[in-house]
Amino acid sequence: MPDVQSTVLEFVNKLRKRKIEGSQATARCTVELLRSVISHHRVPHHANQASALIDAVKAVGAQLVAANPVELAVGNVVRRVLHIIREEDLSLATAAVAGLDLLDASDDDDEDVNNGKGIGYPAMSAAVVAAAARSTLRPPSLQTLLEGTPESATVPYTSSSGADSESKTADKSSITRKLKHDVIEGVNQLIHEIAGCHEQIAEQAIEHIHQNEVILTLGSSRTVLEFLCAAKEKKRSFRVFVAEGAPRYQGHLLAKELVARGLQTTVITDSAVFAMISRVNMVIIGAHAVMANGGVIGPVGVNMAALAAKKHAVPFVVLAGSHKLCPLYPHNPEVLLNELRSPSELLDFGEFSDCLDFGAGSGSPLLQVVNPTFDYVPPSLGGHNPSYMYRLIADYYSADDLVM
C-alpha cells in the first residue's frame, strides 16, 4: 500500500508540473496507476467489496483530477474504471441471485402477496432484479420512469448481500476475489483499448480519404499521423496541407514525419488556412477532448479552421480515441478548460525584456502576452452527428460517476 501511495503522489506531481503531454499518454499512465491501486487494495472481509474499491478509486481519481483539471482524459479514465467495477459487480450479483433463485423458487409466490406495497427483492424473480440493477447503471429513461424502484434495486445489487443470506464465508471470499480478478481483467482491456486506439481509428482511413484528395490538418496529433499513413499504406495518393500550429510549431514536426513516411506535404502558416481552404477536400484534426454536447477541444486555431471549413462546406472530421470522450458539458470552455502557456513560446525574452519589465511605470508591464493552448469548437461547427454523443457516453460511463 505505501508504495502505491508514493506512485500516486509521484504521478500527481508530474500532472501538476505538466510533465506528461498528450491525452493518450496521460490516459495510459492514469489507468496503469489505477490498476495498481486496485490490485494492491485490501478490503476487510465483511465489507462490501465493490463499494470499497469504488471509494478507493474515487479517492485517487479526485487527487489526479485536481492535479490537472484541464486534462480531461484523467477524469474520463477514472470514470471508465469506476464503470468497469460497477459492471463487474453487477454481473456477479446477477449470477449470485440467479443461483439463489433456483434454490428457493418455491418461497417466491407466497411472499409476493405479503409484500403487496413495498415490494422488496425476494418477491421479484432474478430477471426483475437484474433489470432493476441494470437500470441503476444505465441513465434514467422513460421506460424506467414508472418502473423505477431504486431503493429496492440497490439492496440486491451489491454482491455481498447477494451471497449473504445463503452461502458461507468461504464462498464469499471466492466471490470477492473473483470481483477483483474480473475488474483487473476489465482494466487491462481498457489499457489495451487506449494503447490500440490509433490503429483502430486508422483502420477507417481508407473509407474517408480518396485518391488525389487534399487534406488539411492543424497542429500535431499522433492519431492524425497514423490515420494519414494508414491511407498511404493502402496505396492512396493524396496531398496533405499542414498548418504549422504557432507558437509551438508542432505542425513542423508533423510535416517532417509525414515526409519521412513518403506523403506529399505542404506546410502553410496558420493564417493561410482560409486562403487554402477552397482547395481542400477535407479537414482532419485530432482532438484534445470531445465534450458531451459534441463540442470539441483542440489545439489553438482549430476554431478558425472549422469556421473556414464551414464557410466552404468542406467536411470537418475530428479524430478522437474513446478516452477523450468526456461526459461533462462545457461551461465557458474557452476560459475554464484552457491552459495559458509560457510567453517565451511567442516572444524572445532577450529582445522584449524592456516591454515586459514589471518594475517600470505602474508596476505591470505594458506588453501582455496571452498564449492559450486550446480552442473550443462548438458542436454546430464540428464533428459527425455530435447530437448523438450521449449514446457513446451512456455506453462508457455510469450516471453516478459524472460528478466526482
Partner 1 sequence: MWRRSASFVLDKHHNNKPISLTPSLDSPPPLSDSMAEVNPNPNPVSAYYQTRAKHHGIVTSDWLEQAQAAVVRYPDKDSPVAGRRPFSVIEEFDNWRQQPDLAEAVAAIRALAAVIRASEATTMMELEIELKKASDTLKSWDTTSISLTAGCDLFMRYVTRTSALEFEDFNAAKARVLGRAEKFGEISYKARKIIAVLSQDFIFDGCTILVHGFSRVVLEILKTAAQNKKLFRVLCTEGRPDKTGVLLAKELAKLDVPVKLLIDSAVAYSMDEVDMVIFGADGVVESGGVINMMGTYQIALVAHTMNKPVYVAAESYKFARLYPLDQKDLEPALRPVDFGVPVPPKVEVERSARDYTPPQYLTMLFTDLGVLTPSVVSDELIQLYL
- Residues that bind partner 1 in the complex, under the rule CB under 8 A: 109, 112-113, 115-117, 119, 123-125, 127-128, 131-132, 139-143, 145-148, 292-294, 329, 331-332, 386-391, 399
- Under DSSP, is residue 2 helix (H, G, I), strand (E, B) or coil? helix
Select 65 or 292, whichever has its Cβ closest to partner 1: 292
* Shortest distance, position 313 Cβ to partner 1, whole Å: 18
CB of 338 within 8 A of CB of 70?
yes
Alpha helices by DSSP H, listed for 41-71, are 49-67
Select 127 or 275, whichever has its Cβ closest to partner 1: 127
Select 135 or 217, whichever has its Cβ closest to partner 1: 135
Select 286 or 386, whichever has its Cβ closest to partner 1: 386
* Shortest distance, position 374 Cβ to partner 1, whole Å: 20
All three cell numbers of 267, joined, read 506546410
CB of 324 within 8 A of CB of 383?
no
Residue in the structure block whose three cell numbers are 489526479: 64
CB of 126 within 8 A of CB of 191?
no
Select 201 or 389, whichever has its Cβ closest to partner 1: 389
* Shortest distance, position 97 Cβ to partner 1, whole Å: 14
Select 2 or 116, whichever has its Cβ closest to partner 1: 116
Q: In which order are the strands placed within the sheet that holds 316-319?
A: 264-268, 239-243, 214-218, 282-286, 316-319
Select 147 or 203, whichever has its Cβ closest to partner 1: 147
Rounded to the nearest 5 degrees, what angle is found at the Cα of 397, between the Cα atoms of 75 and 332?
A: 50
* Shortest distance, position 171 Cβ to partner 1, whole Å: 28
* Shortest distance, position 128 Cβ to partner 1, whole Å: 5
* Shortest distance, position 205 Cβ to partner 1, whole Å: 27
Per-position b or e across 51-63, b if 16+ CB within 10 A of its CB:
bebbebbbebbee
* Shortest distance, position 383 Cβ to partner 1, whole Å: 12
Q: How many helices (H) and strands (E) does the chain have?
A: 19, 8
* Shortest distance, position 325 Cβ to partner 1, whole Å: 15
All three cell numbers of 119, joined, read 415490494
Task: Give the C-alpha separation, 124 to 128, whole Å.
Answer: 6
Q: What is the CA radius of gyration of the chain?
A: 26
Smallest CA-to-CA distance from 83 within 58, 48, 64, 46 is with 58
Alpha helices by DSSP H, listed for 104-168, are 107-115, 126-137, 142-147, 150-157, 159-164
* Shortest distance, position 165 Cβ to partner 1, whole Å: 21
Select 147 or 199, whichever has its Cβ closest to partner 1: 147
Select 42 or 331, whichever has its Cβ closest to partner 1: 331
Task: Give the C-alpha separation, 209 to 133, whole Å.
Answer: 44
